[in-house]
Copies of this chain bind each other. A is one copy, B any other.
Amino acid sequence: MPKVVDEEKRRQRIAEAVWDIAAEQGLDRATVRAVAARCGLSVGSVQHSFRSQGELKRFAMELVVQRVTERLSVTPDSAVGPLDEQQAVAALLLETLPLDDEREKEARIWAAFSASALVDKRLAPYGRQMSALLERFCLACLEALGAAVAPSAKRELRLEALHLHALLDGLTLDLLADPSPSRRQQAAQVVRSYVECIGSKEATCS
């Protein structure tokens, strides 16, 4: 038998090279050659791990969804009071924005794959999955803000989650186009104001 390597780790390492290139130059520049060079492998090795380039891209995006899922599984706990709760939720939401360079890179990766998913049937399901994921996360945040809500307000809450999700996506896009510190501060302020607004509204309604 031959040299044994952790095939799964290898695949993830290659996929992360795809991420890097996608973030810096766009997903279509993530050619097999470029990816192989990026992670110090030969073209043949990449081919050994992935049957085709399409499979590589698909896996790379699947891994994005997986990693984001893991991160977003942290649900806001309702242990503290309403004021602290607002701050906790705001902090949670702010973590999804590209407010520092590391998050910006992640957002660039997300943006590159999302854009491709709009025109690539193979990637579209993962785009929808990511979208649904973020929306559930937003819903959880809103529920944490408004505590228990009446069943009649369920629909309203769903719409509010759509609003919040769109807001986060839009702010992310904006910050990718202009990652200046002032812009980042403004975006953060928008989120904080939003949370404040929702918090007070829910309070009066309940």
- Interface residues of A, Cβ cutoff 8 Å to B: 24-26, 28, 108, 111-112, 114-120, 124, 127-128, 131, 158-159, 162-163, 165-171, 173-174, 176-178, 186-187, 189-190, 193-194
Contacts and interface: CB of A to CB of B under 8 A. Distances in A.
A68 to B, nearest CB: 15
A115 B163 CA distance: 22
Given A24-B119, A115-B115, A186 B162 contact: yes
B189 A159 contact: yes
16 contacts: A26-B115, A26-B118, A26-B119, A111-B118, A112-B118, A112-B119, A114-B173, A127-B177, A131-B177, A159-B189, A162-B171, A162-B190, A166-B167, A166-B169, A166-B187, A168-B170
A25 B119 contact: yes
